[in-house]
Amino acid sequence: MGDVGYARDEVRRARYAVAAVFAVHGAVTGSFATRVPWIQDHASLGAGQLGFALAFTAFGASCAMPLAGRISHRFGSRTALRGLLTLWTLSLVLPSLAPNLYTLCLAMFAYGATAGMADVAMNALGVEIERLLEKSIMSGLHGMWSAGALVGSAAGTLAAHLGSDARLHHALAAAALTLLGLLACNSVLDLQPAEDEEPPPRFALPPRSALLIGTVGFCAVFAEGASLDWSAVFLRDRLDGSAGLAAASTTGFMLTMAVARIAGDAVVNRFGAVRTVRAGGMLAVLGGLLIVLAGHPAVAMGGFALMGLGIAVVVPLCFAAAGHAGPNPSQAIAGVATITYTSGLIAPSLIGGVAQATSLMVSFCVVTVLASGLAVFAGVLRTAERGGRKEISPQATAVPDPRP
H/E/C letters for each residue in 340-390? HHHHHHHHHHHHHHHHHHCCHHHHHHHHHHHHHHHHHHHHHHHHHHCCCCC
- Per-residue pLDDT tens digits for 149-195: 888 888 888 888 888 899 999 999 999 999 999 999 999 988 777 66
Instruction: Assess whether pLDDT exceeds 50 at residue 395.
Output: no
Q: In degrees to the nearest 10, what's the CA dihedral of 141, 59, 205, 79?
A: -50
Whether pTM exceeds 0.85: no
> Beta strand 5-7 with 398-400: parallel, antiparallel or unpaired?
antiparallel
- Residues 232, 382: Cα–Cα separation, whole Å: 36
Q: How many CB atoms lie within 10 A of CB 313?
A: 29
First to last CA, the chain: 6
- Report the run of H or E that residue 7 belongs to, with start and end: strand 5-7
- Choose between 92 and 343: higher pLDDT: 92
pLDDT of residue 72: 84
User: How many Å is the maximal CA-CA distance in the chain?
Assistant: 64
Q: Which residues contact 189 (CB under 8 A, 6 or more apart)?
A: 6, 10, 11, 14, 77, 78, 125, 128, 129
Size (the chain), residues: 404
Higher pLDDT, 244 or 65: 65
What is d(CA 376, CA 159) in angstroms, rounded to the nearest whole number? Answer: 44
Least confident of 25-39, 50-64, 171-185, 244-258: 244-258
Instruction: Give pLDDT, residue 323.
Output: 79
Which has the closest alpha carbon to 1: 198, 199, 192? 192
The predicted structure's pLDDT at residue 53: 85
Please count the CA atoms within 13 angstroms of the CA of 236 that sit on its side-chain side.
12
The torsion angles phi and psi of 5, rounded to 5 degrees, stand at: -125, 165
Which of residues 350 and 385 earns the better pLDDT score? 350
Q: Give residue 383's region: left, alpha or beta (phi > 0; psi -120 to 50).
A: alpha
* Helix or strand holding residue 132 (H, E): helix 101-133
How far, in Å, are 35, 154, 173, 286 from residue 158 at the CA level?
A: 11, 6, 13, 35
φ and ψ at residue 395, rounded to 5 degrees:
-80, -15
Contact between 66 and 82 under an 8 Å Cβ cutoff? The reply is no
Name the residue among 310, 314, 318, 350 with its Cα closest to residue 337. Answer: 318
Q: Give the residue-averaged pLDDT of 281-304.
A: 93
Contact yes or no for 149/26 (Cβ under 8 A): yes
99: three-class secondary structure by DSSP: coil
What is the distance between the alpha carbons of residues 196 and 80, in angstroms, rounded to a whole number?
20
Report d(CA 213, CA 230) in Å as an integer.
Answer: 26
Give the pLDDT score at 397: 34
Give the closest residue to 220 by CA, choosing from 29, 342, 373.
373
For residue 222, give the nearest of 112, 340, 316 by alpha carbon: 340
**187, 17 contact by CB (below 8 A):** yes
Say if CB 349 and CB 51 are below 8 A apart.
Answer: yes
Lowest mean pLDDT among 119-133, 219-233, 267-281: 219-233
When the pLDDT of each residue in the chain is averaged and rounded to a whole number, the result is 84
pLDDT band of 196, cuts 50, 70, 90: low
- Kindly indicate the confidence band of residue 118, based on its pLDDT and cuts at 50, 70 and 90: very high
pLDDT band at 389 (very low <50, low <70, confident <90, very high): very low
Q: How many CB atoms lie within 10 A of CB 3?
A: 6
For the ranges 13-17, 68-72, 360-364, the lowest mean pLDDT is seen at 68-72
Query: What are the Cα distances from residue 381, in Å, to 121, 271, 333, 336?
Result: 21, 13, 13, 12
